[in-house]
């Protein structure tokens, strides 16, 4: 699988590492070069410095050959905008984006994105654990 | 009318002030606490401090009864998110977004936000209006009609000088509406009106035909001008 990840925070870097270790082709983009320090030394994918929240920025990643696009920067609006451009302009088959605002998760889902709210997800996980 | 404005920068503030002055109910949503305090001192309690893209905050702002929603922050992703939520989640009748990067305008349209104001292009066109070397300036874009109102200049070396309007090969759908000639009153041109160097024409043209219009008036467009 060919995957582009926007945002090399803890989640982005860990996901890039996991996918890379399984032999997937990974491109990870971030606007801060020091964020790539979180990638393991043996990371075999591409780390790209730059924006991915507009059409030109996305074009510079391998977005056209991408099977999946994952937006996990710290900002909901950036994630949502990049994810929608990936989906509607570049027709990426699978687009996943993180939104912290749990009330927006459903809204972006209705727009055809696979939105994940860590807030809601984490709360559900803890609840499940407690109920065991 | 109840208007919600997201982003209390220069545009948001001036707009808020005008809408208030016309007797409307206005709420300005702004992230910056200091700006909110300033607004309070100046305009009274018309601001809400917080993130204008957050559903809970918008609900608290009474977005469900808003007549108009205007997103004018300096971040395109924020303007897009806020206006999509306003339009598609809460069904606000009129939603307008400022676009800071002109390249994002078609993305906004594709994602359902048609009423956009492209800040950079607006300023650019106004600057071009003041510099005589530009052959065509867009004065107004009637997006929903696919039409533009433009100002075209007849250059000193134009091949159209001395020709009448009917002899110019203006692209179909273009109409010259007004001639502006130095030292004379503005006139509604007739097919027999002949052009002089320095004339300016206000034309209604179909969007995308700017290049052909410039050529018909005998000018050289920016794209053809030798380096």
Instruction: Give the DSSP letter string of A33-60.
Output: GGGGGGS-TT--SEEEES--SSHHHHHH
Q: How far is CA B127 from the centre of its chain?
A: 14
**Successive 10-residue mean pLDDT values, chain A, 132 residues:** 96 96 96 95 94 87 92 94 94 94 89 90 92 89
* DSSP reduced 3-state for B48: strand
Among A54, A55, A101, the residue with its CB nearest the CB of B55 is: A101
Cβ neighbours of B84 in A, within 8 Å: 80, 107, 111
Backbone angles phi, psi at A66, to 5 degrees: -75, 140
Per-residue confidence (pLDDT) for residue B227, from 0 to 100? 43
> What would the mean pLDDT of B59-82 be, rounded to a whole number?
96
- What lies within 8 Å, CB to CB, of A124 at 6+ separation is none
Is the CB of residue A1 less than 8 Å from the CB of residue A19?
yes
| pTM for the predicted model, two decimal places | 0.84
Calpha distance B38→A17 (Å, rounded): 47
Closest chain B C-alpha to A44 CA, distance in angstroms: 31
CB contact (8 A) between residue A80 and residue B111? no
Confidence of residue B12 (pLDDT cuts 50, 70, 90): very high
CB contact (8 A) between residue A107 and residue B55? yes
Backbone angles phi, psi at A55, to 5 degrees: -60, -45
Per-residue confidence (pLDDT) for residue B219, from 0 to 100? 67
> What would the mean pLDDT of B41-54 be, rounded to a whole number?
90
CB contact (8 A) between residue B101 and residue A103? no
Is the CB of residue B160 less than 8 Å from the CB of residue B216?
yes
| Dihedral angle of Cα A96, A28, A12, A20, to the nearest 10 degrees | 100
Residue with tokens 């545009």: B11
Which neighbouring-strand residues pair with A116?
A: A98
Backbone angles phi, psi at B62, to 5 degrees: 75, 35
Q: How far is CA B180 from the centre of its chain?
A: 23
- Estimate the crossing angle of helix A102-110 against helix A118-131, to 10 degrees: 110
Is the CB of residue A78 less than 8 Å from the CB of residue A100?
no
CB contact (8 A) between residue A88 and residue B111? yes
Which residue would you say has higher pLDDT here, B222 or B177? Answer: B177
Q: Does A80 touch chain B (CB under 8 A)?
A: yes
Taking Cα atoms as reference points, which of B187, B197, B190 lies closest to residue B218?
Answer: B197
Q: What is this model's ipTM? A: 0.84
- Write out pLDDT tens, residues B164-185: 988 888 888 899 999 999 888 8
Question: If you count them, how many residues does chain A have?
Answer: 132
Strand pairing report for B25-30 and B2-6: parallel
Q: Does A54 touch chain B (CB under 8 A)?
A: yes
Six-digit token string for A53: 């929240």
Cβ neighbours of A115 in B, within 8 Å: none
> What would the mean pLDDT of B177-202 be, rounded to a whole number?
91
Six-digit token string for A79: 């994630």
Is the CB of residue B66 less than 8 Å from the CB of residue B39?
no
Instruction: Give B24: exposed, middle or buried? Use CB within 10 Å, 0-12, 13-18, 19+.
Output: middle
Sheet holding B2-6, edge to edge: B47-49, B25-30, B2-6, B68-71, B94-99, B116-118
Q: Does A84 touch chain B (CB under 8 A)?
A: yes
- Write out pLDDT tens, residues B137-166: 999 988 888 899 999 999 888 888 999 988
Per-residue confidence (pLDDT) for residue A85, from 0 to 100? 95
The CATH homologous superfamily of the domain defined by A2-131:
NAD(P)-binding Rossmann-like Domain (3.40.50.720)
| Dihedral angle of Cα B98, B105, B58, B88, to the nearest 10 degrees | 150
Question: Is pLDDT above 60 for B223?
Answer: no
Six-digit token string for A91: 């027709």
> Per residue in A17-52, is it b (16+ CB within 10 Å) or e — as a string?
bebbeeebbbbbbbbeeebbebbeeebebebbeeeb
Closest chain A C-alpha to B55 CA, distance in angstroms: 6
List domains and CATH numbers for chain B.
Answer: 2-121 (3.40.50.720), 131-216 (3.30.70.1450)
> What would the mean pLDDT of B26-31 be, rounded to a whole number?
96
């Amino acid at each position: 699988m060919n995957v582009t990840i926007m945002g090399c925070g803890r989640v982005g870097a860990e996901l890039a590492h996991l996918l890379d270790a399984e032999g997937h082709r990974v491109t990870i983009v971030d606007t801060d070069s020091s964020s790539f320090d979180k990638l393991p030394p043996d990371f075999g994918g591409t780390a790209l410095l730059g924006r991915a929240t507009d059409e030109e920025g996305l074009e510079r990643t391998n977005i056209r050959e991408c099977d999946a696009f994952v937006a996990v920067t710290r900002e909901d609006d950036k994630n949502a905008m990049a994810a929608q451009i990936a989906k509607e302009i570049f027709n990426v088959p699978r687009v996943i984006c993180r939104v912290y605002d749990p009330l927006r998760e459903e809204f972006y889902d209705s727009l055809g994105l696979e939105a994940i709210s860590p807030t809601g997800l984490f709360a559900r996980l803890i609840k499940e654990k407690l109920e065991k | 009318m109840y208007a919600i404005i997201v982003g209390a920068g220069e545009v948001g503030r001036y707009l808020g002030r005008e809408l208030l002055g016309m007797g409307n109910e206005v709420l300005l949503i702004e992230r910056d606490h200091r700006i909110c305090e300033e607004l309070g001192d100046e305009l009274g309690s018309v601001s809400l401090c917080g993130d204008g893209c957050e559903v809970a905050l918008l609900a608290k702002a009474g977005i469900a009864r808003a007549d108009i929603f205007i997103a004018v922050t300096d971040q395109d992703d924020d303007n897009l998110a806020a206006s999509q939520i306003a339009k598609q989640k809460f069904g606000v009748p009129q939603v307008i977004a400022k676009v800071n990067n002109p390249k994002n305008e078609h993305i906004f349209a594709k994602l359902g936000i048609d009423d956009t104001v492209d800040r950079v292009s607006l300023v650019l066109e106004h600057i071009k209006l003041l510099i005589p070397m530009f052959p065509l300036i867009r004065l107004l874009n009637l997006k929903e009609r696919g039409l533009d109102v433009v100002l075209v200049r007849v250059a000193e070396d134009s091949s159209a000088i001395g020709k009448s309007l009917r002899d110019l090969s203006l692209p179909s759908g273009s109409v010259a509406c007004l001639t502006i000639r130095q030292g004379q009153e503005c006139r509604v041109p007739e097919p027999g009106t002949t052009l002089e160097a320095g004339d300016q024409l206000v034309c209604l043209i179909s969007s995308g035909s700017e290049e052909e219009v410039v050529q018909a008036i005998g000018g050289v467009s920016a794209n053809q001008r030798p380096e």
